[in-house]
Amino acid sequence: MSKIAVIVGSLRRESINRRLARAMVRLPAAQGHEFSWPEIGDLPLYDQDDDSSPSAQTTRLKHEIRAADGVIFVTPEYNRSIPGVLKNAVDHASRPYGDSAWAGKPAGIVSVSGGKPGAAMAQQHLRNVLAYLDMPTLAQPEAFIRWTDELVTAEGEVGEHSRDFLNDWMGRFLKLVETHSKGSRSRSGRNCARSGRQSRPGACHAPSRDPS
């Protein structure tokens, strides 16, 4: 079983991205896995002056991300990019330098839009950010979803026209998480053995980095 954090880049109560995200965790491929929903709407604006004394909301977010095996971002597109609230959350959990909660977490991106482009620009910008944060991100299939009234049923399930595609997407993403987790455990063990930094079974502490 994998633990997956789902981060929705919209705060709107009736967000179509949130509705699809809730439906996707009910897909057959998602069964047997655990999903969490980190809150990002109550984060203060990121300020580097706060790095030495982060807010309780920031500490909570980083804890939730670290507890996850992978992260699914479900986001709309605002002005040809990602929403400010999502970028703010990404910045909070990546700082201070050398203490990023995102590093090494497999990621997947899904976008819902009322228009034909399907939030393609937002996804491209987010992929650029995730690449810098060292998050291996599912490349194919890309999930640019156009909203229709049939996308999510009244019962909260993914509609029949998109169910097979999104179930396949979920299966591929979870496979990426599983593969990466196995590889990470193997590499961690070898690195700890070589470095002698293992202080307890399963723990290996990387050297600290100077702040930027």
With contact defined as beta carbons under 8 Å apart, do 122 and 82 qualify?
yes
Instruction: Answer whether residue 150 shows pLDDT above 70.
Output: yes
* Mean pLDDT within 80-84: 95
* Mean pLDDT within 72-95: 96
Verify cis geometry, omega within 30 degrees of 0, for the bond prior to 106: no
With contact defined as beta carbons under 8 Å apart, do 90 and 54 qualify?
no
pLDDT reported for residue 117: 72
pLDDT reported for residue 69: 98
pLDDT reported for residue 182: 74
Q: What is the chain's mean pLDDT, rounded?
A: 88
d(CA 7, CA 136): 16
pLDDT reported for residue 114: 87
The phi, psi pair for 7, rounded to 5°, reads -115, 120
Sign of CA dihedral 203, 180, 7, 76: positive
* Mean pLDDT within 134-146: 95
* Alpha helical stretches, state H, the chain: 16-24, 56-66, 84-94, 120-132, 160-195
Confidence class for position 116, pLDDT limits 50, 70, 90: confident
> pTM for this structure?
0.85
Instruction: Answer whether residue 205 shows pLDDT above 50.
Output: no
